[in-house]
Structures are given as structure tokens and as C-alpha cells.
Amino acid sequence: MPLDMPLDENAQFELLNLRTIVNSIGAHIYAKDLEGRYTYVNQQVCRLFGLSRGEILGRDDNDFFDLNEAKDLQRYDRRVLDFGETIECEERNVIRQSGEVRYFSTIKTPVRDVDGRIIGMCGISTDITERKKLEVELERQAHIDFLTNLNNRRHFIELAERELSRALRYQHPVCLLMLDVDHFKRVNDTYGHKQGDKVLTVLAQTCVDTLRDSDIAGRLGGEEFAFMLPETGREQGLEVAERLRKVLAATTVATDDDEGNVHFTVSIGMCLLCSECDTVDTLLNCADKALYEAKESGRNRVCVG
């Protein structure tokens, strides 16, 4: 049948139905030629790019995505076009038109002619951006203390072990601080647990603001916090600990009724990486003993284990 022969009524109806289905599916459906140029896109792709079908066809991914993302897409495409693979993958795309970052679960498969030769490819990409955001948030919640937004105890130890391994490998100094709020029960009894939580939140943010980005901060539980300071020896560690102590002693937390301020102090125990303390557990135990000494010596001070 000549290619330019008009379609009969049934064929036109089937084609219309097919187009309706393809454009109604909540997925991005497209086809490309051997050079990676778009030969077909459904309406979802047009909406993604913010362009009409005519503005997309005949162009390749370099026109629509950031350079690095386009290269990744083309690498997958070449596996389909050059080797006839059908692949499933997850793709991260930065849409050039909007600057938006989107994630897709994609299936790509070759298109062959009647002789079995590859003449192009087609792909179906399902937007999984919201699922990715949820996964990231769930992972964050698994790692973060909900009250202070610091690392929780488990994640702090994981990060500390990673840093300690690096320090041991390269023989770099590491300092660990353990901090506890003095007379915190008195704060709760006097002002209530809600105000006590506010004190912990302010304390955590003040510590983050005072420390370096490379330092690891965590809430171990209750009013007890720990900080691992990479590339930090005794003298510098003491300077950091004293700075934290003084900054927190000067910090005030307004009461909920705005009729006063809560003042508090902290005690800090410090331990350095050495032959006797070369694991996170031994560093924490050493710092905990130094913290106990600081408490017994009158509080609002720094002691070294």
C-alpha cells in the first residue's frame, strides 16, 4: 500500500484512540532516531519541556537538559541504539527551560524495521520526583534528632566512625567533645518541659553556628551532646570547647510568656585520639569520664580525659 494512501475510517479511528491513550497516560513517551533526535513525543513531554511538539521534534537532549544530564541520557541511549539492549534505569534530569530537577524511572527499548535492523528507540519515563523526595525525607528522619535537627546518636556514631577511620589511616588528630546542660532538671521543673525543649533547640543551633562545617554534631540523648572535631589537637580542641562553653553561658532563651529569660551553662568533657582511645566507643567513654569530672568540679567548665 502506498505510504500516502489515505487511512480508512476504521484505521483513523484506531489511530485517534491510540493517540488519546498515549496522551492520557501519566508517563512521558517518546521516540528517537539513530542520532538521538526526537521523532515523537506525547503531550507529557511537551508539558515537561514547556514547548510544542514542533519545537521538540528533530532536536536532541542537548537542547533540553543540562550538559551533564544530557550526556548521561545519551550514554543510556547508545546502549539501546548500538547494542539493541532494553534497559531500565533511574534518571536525574535538570530541565533547562525551567531549571527544575526531576527524577524518572525509565524503560528504553530499540525499534526495528521488518528486517530486524535497529532504526531508532522508544522510551517511557515515569516521574518519580515526589517518591524520591519522600525517600530523602524518610532517610533524613532516620538520621536526624527530631527536636534539635542534629544527627541522632546512631548516625553520629556512624559518621564519627567514618571520620575516625580516615584519621587513623592518615595519622591526623581528632578531638571528641561531650557536652551536658548543667542542672537541666531544674530548668524543666521551673519552666516546664516545653521550655526545656526550647533550650535544647537553641543550644543545638548555637553549637552548629559556632563550630565548623566539617565538625560532626550529634545529640546522644536527653541533654547530652557530642561533637567530633577532625584535624583538631589538644590546644585547638580546648579553644573550641572553651568557646562553646562561653557562648552558651552568654545565651539566653526567652520564656513563652516573654516575661523573662532562661540562662543555662554547660559542662564539657574532651578526649583526644590516642593509642588508648582509638575507637568511637573508647573516645566517648573517655570524654564521658572527663564530663563527669567537670560536673564534680563545680560545672560550667571543660575537663580533658
239 belongs to the catalytic site: no
Q: Which of 223, 239, 259, 276 is catalytic?
A: 223
Contacts of 302 (CB under 8 A, 6+ apart): 238, 241, 242, 245, 267, 268, 269, 270, 294
- Residue numbers annotated as active site: 223
